[in-house]
Amino acid sequence: MYRRNRIAWRHGQALFGLLLVFSLIVGACAPAPAAPAAPAAADTTAPAAEAAPAAPSGENVMVGAWVGPCCNPIELANPLSAGGGYHWFNKIWSHLVTYNVEYSEIIPDLAESWSVSDDSLTWTFNLRPGVTWHDGSPFTAEDVIFSIEACLDPATTCWQSGPLSVVVGAQAYIDGSADSVTGLVAVDETTLTITTSGPTAPLLDILAETWIIHKASMQDIPRDQFETTDYWRTTAIGTGPFKLSQFVDGQYIETVRFDDYWRGAPKLDKLIRRDFRDPATALLAFDAGEIDFTYLTADEVERESQNPNAVIIPGPSQVDNAINLNPEFHPAFGDPKFRQAILYAIDRKSIIDNIYKGAAEPVPCLYGNPQYYPDDIEQYDYNPERARELLAEIGLDPASLGTVILDTYYNDQLSADVMTVMQANLADIGLTVDLMPMDGASWTSRYYDQKESQMSFTGGANGADPNRAYQYFYSTSPGNNYKYNNPELDRLLDEGRMEMDPARRTEIYQEACRVLGHDQPWVFLWQTVRYGIVSTRIANFQFTPAAGGGSYYDQAELWEIVQ
């Protein structure tokens, strides 16, 4: 027998705020079979031609496809730089703190408690005693310091390097004038203090996405080789509920249960991630019973709702879909009026109603939480005539741009349909666009490394804390790919980060939303509902379709097979 306890979700402010997302808890009546001890070390000797495993009946193994809007291909195996796939990575690694599945509060993870000084500058973290790494060594405060310094090191690529620069001594370390970050202090093996250069209200949110990696096994790897090292495929020592057993490029990652996991030994013997190039192929494998979990797009929900062997899990994505414009392709792409014209030209309501089936809401700025919207914020409702007026004001004939390439890493049919409508909308104002869907690795190289993208259809997290804008749009942030620079926004983001009063923070971020809404450093489109789908043979499964796969506690050690 199953018990399905669904936390209700609503459209409107609650749906696109930071509160009730959908979770699934399936209770089982039968105990899991006893599991054999996991192998002590990773084995990466499997031949590349070996077939990827399916979900085997009669075995205590779960197979999933972490593919779609959450995740990168499995070859992007470095959690520091991957930028997505958190729901997979946190099976192996952990954070000091994390979110609950509803994304409504920060909860303990490797740190069991914390406090902040009266001046809001020094945070003391009491680390959980008795936690061990997958190789049996103890987790200590030195591992946390190593992890944060590795993230800050300019030789590595780490998504949290910008937000973590608020730690005292971080800039000197980044500049190379110091060998360590002075604001990180190991008081003893299980006590750590982090001192910031000013009050930092979102510090816990930042740490909820800062991976803690194993100092002993990584300290001899040169930082400039973190991205290319085989460590992530052969060793990958973490503190999570599962440990790496086998990595076969382009096919699968196999993990086995970690018996000494601090929350208790997992009920599954193995958790396997199969690689798929697109969500549609993964869904076919799900329907065939080959995998137990994958993502759905909105156009597949109605059909899959008839599947008696599946439970569909919807929730607010906490992700903005946006069009990113590269000013290096043409100076007009950096002009707010051009960006506003693009937004006016796109019939967002029609796309949301007809393609997303109503499961999305437009956003006027980065934030998906309406509490950060000023009352008079411009909503940019569909108005192609206004778009043409703006182009005339800046003296730009769209035909002079020739054919513009709109690339993306989304390769599902729904996204293709969305982009086709946008292509037609932009043609209505005289802009010729060709579409270029790409695999994740190729797009990442084109956009970040080669900087050859002209226009990109992307997704970027907008929550849970509004400080997220710092990562993307602060003038000196490493995550500010096209070097957008607005001193007024910098000032507001500095104030918002340092303001500890929640009501005053809301006012500050409303003003930040006003600036972002005017400048449109990304052309902000909408925030969607996203969906996962899990087999009814999996019990105690918790999931929410959060940004980047989501940094939250999903009780993976309790997942089990019941059929």
Domain of 406, CATH number, reads 3.10.105.10
Q: Which of 239, 255, 274 is the last residue of a domain?
A: 239
- The answer to whether position 442 is within a domain reads yes
**Residue ranges of E strands in 466-563:** 523-535, 538-539, 560-561
Q: Which domain holds residue 416?
A: 315-528
Phi, psi of 114 (to 5 degrees): -160, 160
Asked whether residue 537 is assigned to any structural domain, the reply reads no
Q: Based on the structure, what is the number of domains in the chain?
A: 2
Nearest to 396 by CA among 324, 434, 340: 340
264 found inside a domain: no
Q: Is residue 279 part of a domain?
A: no
**pLDDT in the model for residue 59:** 82
Given a contact cutoff of 8 angstroms between Cβ atoms, the answer to whether 480 and 472 are in contact is yes
Q: Which residues are within 8 A (CB) of 145 and not within 5 positions of it... i.e. 6 or more apart?
A: 180, 181, 184, 186, 192
CB contact at 8 A, 523 and 543: no
Look up tokens 């972002």; give the residue: 516
| 228 pLDDT higher than 60 | yes
pLDDT digits (tens, 9 = 90+) for 251-305: 999 999 999 999 999 999 999 999 998 889 999 999 999 999 999 888 899 999 9
pLDDT one-digit tens code per residue, 167-178: 999 999 999 999
The per-residue pLDDT for 58 is 60
Return d(Cα 525, Cα 254) in angstroms, integer.
Answer: 37
Shared domain check, 325 and 224: no
Asked if 319 and 446 sit in the same domain, the reply is yes
How high does pLDDT run on average in the chain?
A: 89
**Size of the chain, expressed as the number of residues it contains:** 563
pLDDT of 20: 30
Q: What percent of the chain is modeled with pLDDT above 90?
A: 78
pLDDT higher than 70, residue 3: no
**At 461, phi and psi to the nearest 5?**
-60, 140
Q: Give the residue with greater pLDDT, 358 vs 12.
A: 358
Give the residue-averaged pLDDT of 37-49. Answer: 34
**354 in the same domain as 473:** yes
Q: Are residues 339 and 198 in the same domain?
A: no
The model's confidence at residue 23, banded by pLDDT at 50, 70 and 90, is very low
Task: Based on the fold, state whether residues 323 and 234 are members of the same structural domain.
Answer: no
Q: What is the mean pLDDT of residues 94-118?
A: 96
Among residues 257, 293, 291, the alpha carbon closest in space to that of 558 is found at 257
CATH number, domain of 131, equals: 3.90.76.10
DSSP secondary-structure letter at 29? S
pLDDT of residue 57: 55
Residue pair 298/531 in contact (Cβ under 8 Å)? The answer is: yes
Residue 560's contacts (CB-CB under 8 Å, 6 or more residues apart) are 28, 32, 60, 267, 268, 538, 539, 540
Residue 39 scores a pLDDT above 50: no
Residues 358 and 233 in one domain: no
CB-side neighbour CA atoms (13 Å) of 476: 11
Average pLDDT (392-408) is 97
Burial class (CB in 10 A: 0-12, 13-18, 19+), 307: middle
Question: 464: cis peptide before it, omega within 30°?
Answer: yes
Burial (Cβ within 10 Å: 0-12, 13-18, ≥19) of residue 186:
middle
Mean pLDDT of 300-327: 94
Shared-domain flag, residues 338 and 232: no
Q: For residues 85 and 423, what is the distance between their CA atoms, to the nearest angstrom? A: 29
Q: Residue 254: helix, strand or coil by DSSP?
A: strand
Q: For 430-485, how does the pLDDT look when each residue is reduced to its tens digit (9 = 90+)?
A: 999 999 999 888 998 999 889 999 999 999 989 889 999 998 999 998 888 899 99
Q: Interhelix angle for 502-519 vs 336-345, to 10°?
A: 90
First to last CA, the chain: 10
